């Protein structure tokens, strides 16, 4: 009777006091160890997981650098030139102070423009014989290599901090949470380098591709060295189609291009329509076209700010036509579903022009995105 | 582990379109191709065609 109380546990019935003590130790010692050291053990397992992802980020960063160097090699850039461009991967850009955010966009714009111009002129001085497409490819590859290197370094920083303080499981757990998505994005950026080498259009290029089709056959007027527009007549409306100048990799300067048109021949437009690729939500179909209101443009926000300011100051309504795609599709070679959505988006644009611009009036349509592999 | 495990290979294609009659033809991507580049001649009316789209597609397994 005295042993019957234990029999439900694994059917084990201790037959002597020694067995009973051993049995209790077997159950309780691991339990107490887990209570005391459980978090530490968990943090080691998280650390191992984070280390695997970190290795992948390191691979992406190194591979991007190698891709850039081998592209330069193939384009006949010598050792000194290669070294000089490689050193630019580690160049830092310092963002303006945001304690007093009034006017921060203009400061940001200055910093970004300066960075862009200096990279462009340095590449130009190194690659004297290369054409515009090749130089733009190098600038974009450099940007990817810099971004991947920075991401790797930041994650490595937090990983090493986490290893220093293994009791702080939350530091590592946060890394573990964001890393799978981050690594997938890093992989996609690395993949985009292949597209750059061949100058293939990206998913992000759908905006310029839709606008470019309207511009085909019309006279193109350059607003600056990276931005062009063409005039197009549609059912009595005069439409200026504006995009980055292709087919080299560039997003152009659509904000300053728009300002120039508004200050010049298009002062009295009735609408500004922006076409852009936008992030879809999971479950939405890639290539779905949606129409809306507002400035459709991504990035840090400088262009968006400038466009919204110009439009609101002159009280011009902003309309948007967006093509939905995932972040991975946006930075990979354009898929068939997205390419074929151009026709639908084109119809939406024409529809929008008819609805929002009276006959005899003018409007501006902007194709937002990287125009690599897409001319006009 | 996160290496591309048997991911289907991507192939790049180009669609040429005739501006006069709308005839379309698909072919493989060649270096130097870009969207709206003039390329090929329409077999129906001998108009010079242009590239209307470039896209990637998963290679069909044979
Ligand atoms: Zn034809």
The DSSP annotation for A272-317 comes to EEEEEEEEPPTTSPTT-EEEEES----SSSHHHHHHHHHHHHTT--
Task: Please enumerate in sequence order all residues whose Cβ is within 8 A of that of A283, keeping only pairs 6 or more positions apart, or say none.
Answer: none
The string of pLDDT tens digits covering residues A29-75 is 999 999 988 888 888 899 999 999 999 999 999 999 999 999 999 98
Question: Among candidates A207, A181, A213, which has minimal Cα distance to A372?
Answer: A207
Lowest mean pLDDT among A79-83, A205-209, A356-360: A79-83
For residue B39, being part of any structural domain is answered with: yes
Whether B27 has a pLDDT exceeding 60, the answer reads yes
Find which of B22, B36, B37 to mutate to test the A interface (most A CBs within 10 Å of its CB): B36
Q: Which residues in chain B have Cβ-Cβ distances shorter than 8 Å to A369?
A: none
Domain count, chain B: 1
Ligand 1 centre from B47 Cα, in Å?
6
Q: What is the pLDDT of residue A39?
A: 83
For residue B15, being part of any structural domain is answered with: yes
| Nearest residue on chain A to B26, alpha-carbon basis | A336
Mean residue pLDDT across chain A: 91
Q: What is the pLDDT of residue B2?
A: 46
By Cβ distance, the residue of B2, B33, B34 closest to A246 is: B34
Q: Which residues in chain B have Cβ-Cβ distances shorter than 8 Å to A340?
A: 53
Q: What is the pLDDT of residue B7?
A: 60
Whether B10 has a pLDDT exceeding 90, the answer reads no
Task: Please enumerate in sequence order all residues whose Cβ is within 8 A of that of A349, keeping only pairs 6 or more positions apart, or say none.
Answer: A210, A273, A275, A321, A365
Binning pLDDT at 50, 70 and 90, where does residue A353 land?
very high
Q: What is the pLDDT of residue A356?
A: 94
Binning pLDDT at 50, 70 and 90, where does residue A375 land?
very high
Cβ pair A56:B36 closer than 8 A? no
Cβ pair A339:B55 closer than 8 A? yes
Domain that includes residue B23, residue range: 10-58
Whether A1 has a pLDDT exceeding 60, the answer reads no
Q: What is the pLDDT of residue A10?
A: 60
For residue B5, being part of any structural domain is answered with: no
Q: What is the pLDDT of residue A19?
A: 85
Cβ pair B12:A333 closer than 8 A? yes
Ligand 1 centre from A124 Cα, in Å?
42
For residue B3, being part of any structural domain is answered with: no
Q: What is the mean pLDDT of residues B21-34?
A: 93
For residue B35, being part of any structural domain is answered with: yes
Ordered by where they begin, the domains of chain A are 44-198 (no CATH), 203-367 (3.40.50.1470)
Whether A155 has a pLDDT exceeding 50, the answer reads yes
CA distance B38 to chain A (A): 11
For residue B38, being part of any structural domain is answered with: yes
The string of pLDDT tens digits covering residues A84-137 is 999 999 888 888 988 888 888 899 999 999 999 999 999 999 998 888 889 999
**Backbone region of residue B34 per phi and psi (left: phi > 0; alpha: psi in -120 to 50; beta: other values):** beta
- Reported pTM: 0.85
Cβ pair A373:B54 closer than 8 A? yes
Q: Which residues in chain A have Cβ-Cβ distances shorter than 8 Å to B19?
A: 217
Q: Classify residue B6 by its DSSP letter.
A: S
ipTM of the complex: 0.88
CA distance B34 to chain A (A): 5
For residue B2, being part of any structural domain is answered with: no
Residue B40: give its domain's CATH number.
3.30.1330.30
Q: Which residues in chain B have Cβ-Cβ distances shorter than 8 Å to A187?
A: 2
Binning pLDDT at 50, 70 and 90, where does residue B1 land?
very low
By Cβ distance, the residue of A52, A334, A374 closest to B34 is: A374
For residue B4, being part of any structural domain is answered with: no
Q: What is the mean pLDDT of residues A204-233?
A: 94
The pLDDT > 90 percentage for chain A reads 70
Whether A7 has a pLDDT exceeding 80, the answer reads no
């Amino acid at each position: 009777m005295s042993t019957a109380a234990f029999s439900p546990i694994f059917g084990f019935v201790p037959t002597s006091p020694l067995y009973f003590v051993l049995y209790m130790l077997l159950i309780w010692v691991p339990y107490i160890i887990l209570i005391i050291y459980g978090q530490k053990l968990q943090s080691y397992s998280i650390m191992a997981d984070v280390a695997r992802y970190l290795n992948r980020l390191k691979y992406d960063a190194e591979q991007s650098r190698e891709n850039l160097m081998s592209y330069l090699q193939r384009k006949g850039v010598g050792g000194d030139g290669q070294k000089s461009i490689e050193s630019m991967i580690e160049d830092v850009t310092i963002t303006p102070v945001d304690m007093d955010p009034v006017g921060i966009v203009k400061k940001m714009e200055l910093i970004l423009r300066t960075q862009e111009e200096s990279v462009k002129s340095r590449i130009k001085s190194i690659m004297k014989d290369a054409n515009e497409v090749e130089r733009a490819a190098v600038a974009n590859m450099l940007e990817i290599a810099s971004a991947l290197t920075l991401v790797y370094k930041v994650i490595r920083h937090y990983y090493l901090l986490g290893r220093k303080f293994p009791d702080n499981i939350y530091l590592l757990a946060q890394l573990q949470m964001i890393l799978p998505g981050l690594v997938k994005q890093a992989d996609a950026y690395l993949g985009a380098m292949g597209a750059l080498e061949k100058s293939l259009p990206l998913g992000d290029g759908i905006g310029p591709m839709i606008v470019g089709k309207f511009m085909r056959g019309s006279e193109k007027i350059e607003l600056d060295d990276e931005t062009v527009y063409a005039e197009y007549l549609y059912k009595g409306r005069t439409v200026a189609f504006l995009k980055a100048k292709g087919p080299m990799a560039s997003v152009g300067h659509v904000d300053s291009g728009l300002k120039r048109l508004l200050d010049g021949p298009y002062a009295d437009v009735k609408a500004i329509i922006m076409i852009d690729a936008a992030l879809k939500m999971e479950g939405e179909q890639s290539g779905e076209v949606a129409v809306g209101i507002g400035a459709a443009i991504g990035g840090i926000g400088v262009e968006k700010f400038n466009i919204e300011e110009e439009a609101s100051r002159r009280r011009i309504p902003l309309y948007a036509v967006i093509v939905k795609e995932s972040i991975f599709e946006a930075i990979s070679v354009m898929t068939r579903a997205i390419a074929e959505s151009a026709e639908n988006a084109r119809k939406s644009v024409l529809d929008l022009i008819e609805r929002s611009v009276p006959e005899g009036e003018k409007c501006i349509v902007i194709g937002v995105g990287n125009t690599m592999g897409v001319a006009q | 582990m996160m290496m591309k495990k048997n991911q289907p290979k991507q192939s790049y294609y180009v669609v040429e379109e005739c501006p006069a009659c709308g005839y379309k033809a698909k072919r493989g991507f060649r270096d130097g191709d870009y969207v709206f580049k003039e390329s090929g001649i329409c077999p129906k009316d001998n108009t010079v065609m242009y590239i209307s789209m470039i896209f990637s597609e998963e290679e069909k397994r044979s």
